[in-house]
């Protein structure tokens, strides 16, 4: 935290920290595979953009954040099977309150590294939440912020329904993403995903788009309704936490593959290849 290496139980933020006062922070989930930090530059760029959009002051440079990550991983000898929750808050306030002018000490940086395999089982179920995903006119989902109550309320609905996660629709009733991962469907040999209007433009989502383009798999960003998901041949989610995960049921409708093709398997193999061969090498 802020350059200090602390044991798990001693790592704490101030009660005056902006994350406590207003969820006023940005974050990234990052994975370490076989001695390399996957997509590090992309995560640092998104964090810088999120902090800039929220007008944080004295934002630490990406080079210094990278140093802090290396230092934390080295201290724990973490080289594989690791998830990093990287958080940058607006920092400590001089007194409680939401006004950013109360922030006069610079940002708080937290590098929380844990041994953690992908969180989802190989195949999951979804329900549709009554909570809508934020559109730009409310709170732009392109900012990867810690104000996660919409998503947490959606996840509570999933928990009560006995599902793994909840689909969140956009303000017009089209599918945006789940409470914590992006969504794709496959229909008649074509791959579709919602436009990144209300969803987070996930880094894993971006990689799947690139894989499809490179492999000549037809891919389209499109407004998609729930019915198109119910009747798709395959549905899958993407995210750093769960990688690529098959969805086998949505709101009680089984996803029935009528095509005889296994598109997810093909794309997932290319994604695995990327995690095994690319990323920022650890210097220790």
Ligand X SMILES: Cc1ncc(COP(=O)(O)O)c(C=O)c1O
Sites for ligand X among residues 132-171 (CB under 6 A): 151
**Binding test (CB under 6 A) with ligand X, winner from 22, 60, 91, 202:** 202
Q: State the DSSP string of 73-124.
A: HHHTT--SSEEEEEEEES-BBSSSSS-GGGB-S--EEEEEEEE---SS-SEE
Closest residue to ligand X, judged by C-beta, is 202
Using the Cα atoms of residue 202, residue 210, residue 69 and residue 109 in order, give the sign of their dihedral.
Answer: negative
**Binding test (CB under 6 A) with ligand X, winner from 29, 60, 194, 279:** 29
Three-state DSSP class for 135? coil
* 200: contact with ligand X by CB under 6 A: yes
Distance of CA 189 to the CA centre of its chain: 26
Binding letters toward ligand X, positions 177-196, x by CB under 6 A:
x--xxx--------------
* 240: contact with ligand X by CB under 6 A: yes
* 197: contact with ligand X by CB under 6 A: no
Q: State the DSSP string of 184-231.
A: EEEETTEEEE--TTSS---HHHHHHHHHHHHHT--EEE----HHHHHT
| Interacting span for ligand X (CB under 6 A) from 124-132, 238-246, 248-256, 261-269 | 238-246
Rounded to a whole number of angstroms, the minimum distance from the CB of residue 96 to ligand X is 27
* 205: contact with ligand X by CB under 6 A: yes
* 126: contact with ligand X by CB under 6 A: no
- Cα separations in angstroms, 193 against 66, 88, 219, 241: 31, 29, 8, 19
Identity of the residue, 19 or 151, whose beta carbon is nearer to ligand X in the bound complex: 151
Q: Which residues bind ligand X (CB under 6 A)?
A: 29, 151, 177, 180-182, 200, 202-205, 238-240
């Amino acid at each position: 935290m802020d350059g200090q290496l602390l044991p798990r139980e001693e790592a704490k933020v101030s009660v005056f920290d902006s994350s406590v006062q207003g969820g006023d922070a940005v974050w990234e989930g990052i994975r370490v595979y076989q001695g390399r930090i996957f997509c590090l530059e992309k995560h640092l760029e998104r964090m810088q953009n999120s902090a800039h959009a929220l007008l944080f002051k004295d934002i630490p440079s990406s080079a210094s954040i990278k140093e802090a990550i290396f230092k934390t991983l080295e201290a724990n000898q973490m080289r594989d099977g690791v998830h990093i929750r990287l958080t940058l808050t607006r920092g400590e306030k001089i007194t409680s309150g939401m006004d950013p002018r109360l922030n006069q000490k610079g940002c708080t940086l937290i590098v929380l590294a844990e041994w953690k395999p992908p969180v989802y089982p190989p195949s999951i179920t979804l329900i549709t939440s009554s909570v809508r995903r934020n559109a730009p006119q409310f709170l732009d989902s392109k900012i990867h912020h810690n104000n996660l109550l919409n998503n947490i309320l959606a996840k509570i609905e999933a928990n009560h329904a006995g599902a793994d996660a909840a689909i969140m629709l956009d303000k017009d009733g089209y599918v945006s993403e789940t409470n914590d991962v992006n969504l794709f469907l496959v229909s008649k040999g074509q791959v579709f995903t919602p436009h990144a209007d209300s969803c987070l433009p996930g880094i894993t989502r971006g990689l799947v788009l690139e894989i499809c383009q490179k492999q000549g798999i037809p891919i389209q960003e499109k407004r998609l309704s729930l019915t198109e998901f119910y009747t798709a041949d395959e549905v899958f989610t993407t995210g750093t936490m769960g990688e690529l995960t098959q969805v086998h049921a949505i709101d009680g409708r089984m996803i029935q593959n009528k095509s005889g093709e296994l598109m997810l398997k093909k794309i997932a193999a290319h994604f695995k290849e990327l995690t095994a061969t690319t990323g920022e090498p650890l210097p220790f």
